[in-house]
Structure 1
Amino acid sequence: MQGVPTPNSSAIRRRDNAADGVSPPRTGVRWLFNGLPGRKEEESVHTEYRRYRGLAQRISDGLPVEVLGKEAGPTVLLLHGWGSSMAHMRPLARLLATDFRVVMLDFPGHGSAPEPAEPWDMDRHADLVQAVIDEHTDGPVLVVGHSNGGRIALFTMARPSTPDRVRALLLLGPSGTRRPRRPSWYLKTALARTLKAPFAILPRPLRDFGLDWLRHSLLWRALSSSDYAATSGVMRETFIRCVNTYLENVLPRVGTPTVILRGAHDEAITPAQIDTMVRLLPDAGAHEVEGAGHYVQLDAPDIVAAAVRDLASRLEMQPMYTP
């Protein structure tokens, strides 16, 4: 494929769990990008925009879902990350729509989706993913999740009620494992606890008022992450519940074949975090994409699309396409 490297190219570096003394993935995902053919010219695609009215209506009414490409057959479900929307997945969706049915959604409080009435935890996000799969797919599904969307995908597949239609996961800079702490983190944490301490002795109404004032202060925002500082109200609490959900204990329950792509210049997710995922997942391999940052699907959409097609072919979700 023009512009898409093979394992012999410097643009792809492979990481897999064989390096940790674990058997290589049963699906053969270690040999991703081996002999990829040229990509067809993008064809006109059937596009359907609808508002999701299944289980999501009971969770949060009017969540937007967009369906592109094939009207039937293997489906690729695209899950965006925190602070993003399906607009960040659309360039990839257009590349995939020539060969797959592609489904995208905006999570509550993102894109054109309304904020939820109350904070959501990971179970609520997983319920929504399950509902979209049940409503919009009738065959095998390959889930592509970016950043927090990858965390949601893994959490969904780790639950006892894991969707049986999902055949594989392709995760792009997925979050969900602990990042090694820098000294500055401990300093900020200690300062935050010091700032909160005086309010602990106040009566409940005054304590709640004081803590709310503190969380909206410029000093508190300076101590917080940019994602936290950019949110407020119900979405701030949703953010806290999501980022504080770590997956190390549940990853061994994810039996779904998983491929992870991380941009070599990703400043949000470290190689150590990806190594932890690959080590704990029963069937996983990982690759670094040279020249890409955290938004691999925007920096290298052809590579991601090729990975989807190759993985789908190896799992016999569809024959490998021909140029």
Structure 2
Amino acid sequence: MSTPFPAHVRVYRSRSGEAAVRSWCERELAACPGMRPLPRIVADGRGTRVHVLGGGGGVPVLVLPGAGLGAATLTGAARLLARDRTVILADLPGQPGLSSPLRPLGGRAAAYGAWLDALLPQVTDRPVVLLGHALGAAAVLSSPPSPLVDRLLLVNPAGLAAPARDPGRLRATCAWRLRPGEDTSARLIGAWGGPAGPGPLAEWMTLVGRHCRADTVPGLLRGEEFRDWRGTPVTVATGARDRVVSPALLRGAARRLLDTGVHEIADAGHLVLHEAPEQVRELLRRGGG
């Protein structure tokens, strides 16, 4: 059943800003050899852009990025994962990227769960691994179980535990919002426990800071939002240096809610798909396909 957004706001501050972000995404995706766009999809009323990178014979994986991190930032990880399996990248509506610019103001988890449920049969006719990072993982947990889902891999997941209160992260976020640039973007990434320094991700975060409206860190899912995934294999992983949802925060919730442990990835923070894609590839391979 469709879950309408009771209220929404455009993620972009201006049409020119939207064009700048979309151009960056199109350029990065076009530069990835073998990456192809699917025709525009409407899932639960939300325009969605999906790209596919053909790969090995393993179970395909549908990758859902975290808040503020469009699919175009994951081309490096996609190339690595595609050595084993086809990779499907979907931009979440209401987040910077190529999908609908309308962001829900209320009922966000339920809206993303309904969107994912409607999206699945339009991008695959065989079971896939759902790989959700941060907000993408919350979308997975809020969607109903489906015969099109082989298993779940939740990386730095939002929704299982409330984010850590970190004054350093708050200061870095405020500085980035006030003066988005390479330095403040790099400091923000570092405050997440990620690889601080110049590079494509810092360039992307500068674009997002300049042209997109502020978003909140996803919080704890409410009971009515959390779907019963018992019976579906699930793996939870996070970086040892994650300053948003640390291993200590996740362990109890993962055991209580999903009956699983937490894989702790050394030398990684909140951006495991960017920092440690080889370890993500290994977790997918351990899943049996």
The reply to whether TM is greater than 0.5 is yes
RCO greater where, 1 or 2, for CA within 8 Å and sep 6 or more? 1
Q: Which residue of 1 aligns with 2:6?
A: none
Does structure 1 residue 124 correspond to structure 2 residue 108?
no
Distance 1:280 1:264 in 2: 20
TM-score (norm 2): 0.64
Matches within 5 A, 1:132-171: 132-156=119-143, 161-171=144-154
Q: Which amino acid aligns with 2:43?
A: L
Q: Which moved more, 1:268-277 or 1:144-153?
A: 268-277
How far is the alpha carbon of 1:130 from its aligned partner? 1.6
Deviations 1:89-133 (A, max 9, x none): 222211122322211111123123341176462122112212221
Partner of 1:50: 38
RMSD over equivalenced CA pairs, Å: 3.6
- What secondary structure sits across from 1:48 in the alignment? strand
Post-superposition shift, 1:245?
4.9
1:185-200 alignment, distance < 5 Å: none
1:112 aligns with 2:98: yes
Deviation of 1:292 after TM superposition, in Å, equals 0.9
Matched AA of 1:276: G
Question: Which has the higher Rg, Structure 1 or Structure 2?
Answer: 1
Match of 1:253 among 228, 239, 248: 228
CA distance 1:114–1:304, shift in 2 (3 Å): same
More displaced 10-residue stretch of structure 1: 147-156 or 269-278: 269-278
Range that drifts further, 167-176 or 113-122? 113-122
The alpha carbon displacement at 1:55 in A equals: 2.6
Q: Which position in structure 2 is the counterpart of 1:82?
A: 67
| Counterpart code for 1:175 | A
Distance in 2, Cα, partners of 1:90 & 1:66: 10
The one-letter code sitting in structure 2 at the alignment partner of 1:116 is L
Unaligned runs of 5+ in 2: 1-31, 168-177, 179-187, 193-207
Query: What's the CA shift string for 1:218-245, capped at 9, x where partnerless?
Result: 8xxxxxx999xx789x965xx45x7345
Q: Match for 2:81 among 96, 99, 113?
A: 96
1:133-160, Cα deviation, whole Å (9 max, x unpaired): 111111111111111111111121xxxx
Amino acid at match of 1:85: G
TM-score normalised to the size of structure 1? 0.58
What SS class does the counterpart of residue 152 from structure 2 fall into? strand
The 1:51–1:289 alpha-carbon spacing in structure 2 relative to 1, beyond 3 Å, is same
User: What secondary structure does 1:145 align onto?
Assistant: strand
For residues 109 and 270 of structure 2, the distance between their equivalents in structure 1, rounded to whole angstroms, comes to 22
Tell me the residue number matched to 1:276. Answer: 252
Asked if residue 297 in structure 1 is aligned to residue 276 in structure 2, the reply is: no
Amino acid at match of 2:246: T
CA contact (8 A) 1:45 1:69 kept: no
Deviations 1:250-291 (A, max 9, x none): 658221221111111111112232113322234422111111
Alpha-carbon distance in 1 for matches of 2:78, 2:65: 12
Number of aligned residue pairs: give it.
221
The 1:51–1:245 alpha-carbon spacing in structure 2 relative to 1, beyond 3 Å, is farther
Structure 2 distance, partners of 1:272, 1:146, is 18
User: Percent same amino acid among aligned pairs?
Assistant: 27
Question: Structure 1 260/110 Cα, relative in aligned 2: closer, same or farther at 3 Å?
Answer: same
SS in 2 for 1:91: helix
Structure 1 partner of 2:238: 262
Contact 1:144–1:171 (CA under 8 A) maintained in structure 2: yes
CA distance in 2, matches of 1:99, 1:106: 22
Question: Which segments of 5 or more consecutive residues in structure 1 lack a partner in the other structure?
Answer: 1-43, 185-217, 219-224, 319-323
Kept in 2, the 8 Å contact 1:251–1:280? The answer is no
1:16-40 C-alpha deviation (Å, 9 max, x unpaired): xxxxxxxxxxxxxxxxxxxxxxxxx
